Structure 1
Amino acid sequence: MPKLREYLGGIVSEIAEARKMTDLQTVQMAKEYAQDNLLKHFSIPRMKVGTVDLTIPFATAGKSPKMIFRDFIYDEIIQAAKTDYDPSDIKSDQSLKDFLIKQEPAYLDLLIKIKEENTPTLTLDQIEYLAPIPKIIVEFCKSLSNFSWKYTNPDIFHKSISNRVILETKKVVEKIEDQEIIVEASKLMELDVKCLIFAKMSVSEAGMEWSRYEDINGNIVETLIPE
């Protein structure tokens, strides 16, 4: 069963993916317009997402079991990489699992160090202790032959691993309990309506576009800016 953050994040991700599909279609249409003597004088249709209002029913399903380092990192890699990681490549997949097992003692040592500091919450300094772990994992993943990196941005992938390490460490230090939820329509229909929770969410588009400029040294710089 999913967790609420994963479920809501997945919905937002799907909306972004839908926008990407419309942009790809716009590119195809632009090529067709350019090749037609009449159409090339018309503006090219392009859809933008306004505001999507969602009402999402779900029910709590209880606490999820705590996962050990090798398991939660592998789980995050699979989720973050999606189709860019091929677990059916048994040799490479086992290589990744063996690597995570070797990294586990270093993480446990850091966990002991953080516990000994006896802070009520995970501090910024303690988060810095954890920073080398996702870096090492990302570098190893880049060396795997079953990782294509076709759709996965290494920086975003690194952020996902880092966030997961921090979250799992917070669970231990701050005793956070991660609740799983029920979202399947068939299961929700079996429950009393009083057990249902309705999350209302509005998703609005805030696009980015590439901008090129020349700095004082004459170098061409490309950067993303809001549309």
Structure 2
Amino acid sequence: MVNLNEYLGGIATSIAEARLMSDLKSLEIAEKFAKHNLLKHFTIPRFKAQNVELTIPVAIGELSSDYEKDYEPINNIEFNSQTYTILKNSSKVNTFDRKTSTLLRSLIAEETDILEKNLKANQNNEEFLDQFSMRVAERFLSIYPKKLDYKFLVKQLNSNLKPLISSKQVVKQNTKVIVEAHKLNEIKPENIIQIKMTLNEEGMEWYTSENDNGEIESKLLPE
């Protein structure tokens, strides 16, 4: 089976490539005509696909559908490490003492687990991140003896951790069709779809003109 969009696109592309091959042949003929005393007055033969109508039989194999990829909103190790670093930098210390460090890493891990569960179950990432930042800041200030600005700490956590949260990804699965003749022969006629497709040619040509500044401009415009 193939994707329906790729199959129809491939047909249209093949016709465009056929037009290219025809134009190259017309160019070759034009060069020969130009060298002949009589033929140079003749019209150059050129293929033009004004309307190409196609009837394409296919059978639907799989209908298109959207599905969500397994959602992992955060990388816990990276997220916990970054949270710890933000608190340490806000405290303007090179390192915490062992007791503070152990308590801090533990509370961060607990809050990260809660945040991850909330993100997986809901859509409002900013709201849950804000709750995470407030809880972490509040618990941190309860174990750290130095006085720090609570609001500033919450703001630092929100702004620095937000880029680490991933959004849910929806994957679109295209409709797949059966196009092989030997397979279509095995399918009941009532289960085969006839796709009517018409291709209208709108050729393009280079148009050269001179602007107000005396500069030559070239634009690709419809014939």
What TM-score does the superposition give when structure 1 sets the normalisation length? 0.50
Deviation of 1:176 (Å): 3.5
Q: Which residue of 1 aligns with 2:215?
A: 219
Are 2:53 and 2:199, in contact at CA under 8 Å, matched by a contact in 1?
yes
2:181 corresponds to which residue? 185
Give, in whole Å, the separation in 2 of the partners of 1:198 and 1:47. 28
| Matched letter for residue 31 of structure 1 | E
Identity among equivalent positions (%) equals 46
Give 3-state SS (helix, strand or coil) of 2:190's partner. helix
Distance, in Å, in 2 between the alignment partners of 1:17 and 1:41 is 29
Gaps in structure 1 of 5+ consecutive residues:
64-114, 120-171
Following superposition, the deviation at residue 197 of structure 1 comes to 1.1
Counterpart for residue 60 of structure 1: 60
3-state secondary structure, aligned to 1:176: strand
Matches within 5 A, 1:36-115: 36-62=36-62
Considering only CA atoms, is the larger Rg found in Structure 1 or Structure 2? 2
User: Aligned partner of 2:173: which letter?
Assistant: E
Considering only aligned residues, what root-mean-square deviation do their CA atoms show, in Å? 2.2
**Among residues 189, 198, 204, which one is paired with 2:200 in the alignment?**
204
Question: Which position in structure 2 is the counterpart of 1:158?
Answer: none
Secondary structure of the structure 2 residue equivalent to 1:26? helix
**1:14-69: CA deviation from partner (whole Å, max 9, x where unpaired):** 11111111110110000110111111121211121111111101112226xxxxxx
Compute the displacement of 1:206 (Å).
0.5
| CA-CA distance at 1:173 after TM superposition | 4.8
Contact 2:5 2:174 survives alignment (8 Å): no
C-alpha displacement of 1:177 = 3.2
In the superposition, relative to structure 1, how do residues 173 and 194 fare at CA in structure 2: closer, same or farther (>3 Å)? farther
State the partner residue of 2:28: 28
Structure 2: unaligned runs, 5 residues or longer: 64-118, 124-167
Map residues 138-149 of structure 1 onto 2, 5 A cutoff: none
Tell me the residue number matched to 1:3.
Answer: 3
